[in-house]
Structure 1
Amino acid sequence: MSEFTHFNVDGRAHMVDISHKQPTERTAIAKSSVFVTKEIYEKMTSHAIKKGDVLSVAQVAGIMAAKKTSEWIPMCHPISLKAVDISFEWHVSESTYELEIRAMVKTVGSTGVEMEALTAASATALTVYDMIKAIDKGIVIGKTYLLEKTGGKSGDFRREEK
């Protein structure tokens, strides 16, 4: 039997059967980032972007994306989410302006919410890009990855950040 659960015995893709799994509380936190110029950082932090409040719009986009993950990712189950929270933190150094995005998703269900958290973080970063691309198209979206998850058969996971 393959370790890849999204393939059937014939090697074709399928949605995993979770009907036998008991609902448990499950959470996931994903992280992404957007690297911008000093000009964009200053405009974002002083709310001087012409399209509006970048972080508010991006936050709503991330929440919406988490709720629609099964429509984006073919083998994801539709999940009734219990909570989604998007948070932001600036990391500024001499020449780097990084907006860190964290997406936390929670449910009580038969499958995890890692993909929902990753989708939320990604959509949030993409929305930030969309809101500021008129100023600079050289914006870089950084690594997107799972920070932690709780619940489920595979147990808890916590990435050690450097």
Structure 2
Amino acid sequence: MIHMIAAVDQAGGIGRNNHLLCHLSADLKHFKKLTMGHAIIMGRKTFESLPGILPGRRHIILTHQEGYCEGREGISVYHSIDSLYSCLDEDQEYFVIGGASLYTAFIDKADTLYLTEIAATFPADTFFPMVDKTQWYAMSCEAHEADEKNPHDFTFYHYVRKVSEACDSEISENLKDI
């Protein structure tokens, strides 16, 4: 199963100069909770923006640079989307964590989206791909107000791709109880 996870501002911005747009402590904790124990897929620049290897997660990096991180434990490197995608095990869960080109490459392959929607707009140079929300169900939504550790209002959304009309009807029935 392929999940995509990102924090986006109201204009779809996700970053600027290879940094997050803002610091939301709750979002970082949410990210850790969801990705712990799973493989995370990212581009080279996203990997380089991390403070180091994130514990408890296998790192899969896509880069055109030959020999990049060769032999580093806990890291797998691929040089094309096709080679990366062909090596994914359908019984495993993967989280695409950025950057923009990977989000764009995987948006049609993703089963779920975990989006933290920030109630603000920032100067950004990197954007999440447009999401056709008619193709997704919002399975959960959890709003949070700004506080001392989170300077902006934000909402955690969990979207699941619509699959078929029969399945859509079953999901719609189940959503009535939520």
Q: Name the TM tier (shorter chain).
A: under 0.3
TM-score normalized by structure 2?
A: 0.23
TM-score normalized by structure 1?
A: 0.25
Q: Which has the larger radius of gyration?
A: 1
